[in-house]
């Protein structure tokens, strides 16, 4: 972190040996006042988070509720199967999804065409990765493939809910929905809080999926030019290490600010069993 802060004060370009000079806060001025790509990249990151995080959380929680249900047989097998994708190197997972979402011969387009008869493949097919309206949902699908860690933490939280609370609620005539809303969700708010922090940090560092699926060039229409993608392009495509260091600090400061806000507000919605 100290070296990154030092780099940010220099005009430091690795493409030209020996060409670095102290420029003070010029890189910071450029990032905050002169470069319109920085706020746009931050905005794109927040837009994607607004779509991806609710879907991912709802999917992971729903899956955890099913895998923790007393009615499910073979829980260990199903838990292992749903966690297994999280064990696969993520680059391999992304490459698999590149084939699944391929416009010309992707599995999803072929299934849609087979079920509906609609021409979904070929040059006029559904462009999951090339359409500005669909690319965020495509990335979200890729993220759902690796929710195993989130599901496991949710299951751990569900297993810590005292069973006597459910028994008392059933005696009082509470249905499944009421028990979920009044008992389950409040009791697992610490796990929701924990996963939310990790998800926010992960969203600010979202890079590998757009880099592999869309080459990290911001296509389509700049929609995938997330702040981490822009950092990589400035630092390792253009070799502007000084300016890239400033962008890295912006990522850190945004993630830190959001985390602080969550910690400041947790007393309003997070319930710890030890609290009085």
DSSP, collapsed to helix, strand or coil, labels residue 275 as coil
Quote the pTM value: 0.90
Give domain limits for the chain. Answer: 2-85+134-269
> Residue 17: which pLDDT band, with cuts at 50, 70 and 90?
low
Asked if 235 and 153 touch (Cβ cutoff 8 Å), the reply is no
More confident residue, 7 or 64: 64
Q: Which pLDDT band, with edges at 50, 70 and 90, does 38 fall under?
A: very high
Q: With a cut of 70, say whether residue 125 has pLDDT above it.
A: yes
Distance from C-alpha of 32 to C-alpha of 221, rounded to nearest angstrom: 23
CATH dotted code for 2-85+134-269: 1.10.3720.10
Q: How far apart are CA 247 and CA 262, in angstroms?
A: 23
Considering only residues 70 and 46, tell me which one the structure prediction assigns the higher pLDDT: 46
Measured distance CA(85)–CA(7) in Å, rounded: 38
């Amino acid at each position: 972190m100290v070296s990154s802060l030092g780099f940010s004060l220099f005009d430091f370009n690795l493409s030209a040996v020996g060409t670095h000079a102290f420029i003070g806060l010029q890189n910071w001025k450029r990032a905050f006042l002169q470069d319109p790509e920085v706020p746009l990249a931050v905005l794109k990151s927040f837009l994607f988070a607004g779509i991806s995080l609710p879907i991912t959380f709802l999917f992971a929680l729903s899956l955890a509720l099913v895998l923790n249900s007393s009615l499910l047989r073979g829980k260990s097998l199903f838990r292992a199967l749903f966690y297994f994708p999280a064990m696969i190197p993520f680059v391999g997972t992304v490459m698999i999804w590149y084939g699944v979402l391929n416009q010309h011969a992707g599995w999803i387009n072929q299934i849609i065409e087979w079920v509906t008869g609609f021409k979904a493949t070929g040059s006029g097919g559904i462009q999951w990765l090339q359409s500005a309206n669909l690319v965020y949902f495509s990335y979200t699908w890729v993220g759902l493939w690796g929710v195993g860690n989130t599901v496991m933490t949710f299951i751990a939280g569900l297993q810590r809910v005292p069973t006597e609370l459910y028994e008392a609620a059933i005696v009082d005539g509470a249905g499944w929905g009421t028990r979920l809303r009044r008992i389950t969700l409040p009791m697992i708010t610490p796990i929701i809080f924990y996963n939310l922090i990790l998800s926010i940090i992960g969203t600010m560092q979202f890079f590998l999926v757009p880099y592999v699926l869309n080459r990290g060039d911001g296509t389509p229409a700049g929609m995938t030019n997330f702040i981490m993608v822009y950092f990589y392009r400035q630092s390792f495509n253009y070799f502007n290490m000084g300016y890239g260091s400033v962008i890295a600090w912006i990522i850190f400061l945004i993630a830190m600010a959001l985390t602080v806000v969550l910690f400041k507000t947790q007393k309003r919605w997070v319930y710890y069993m030890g609290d009085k």
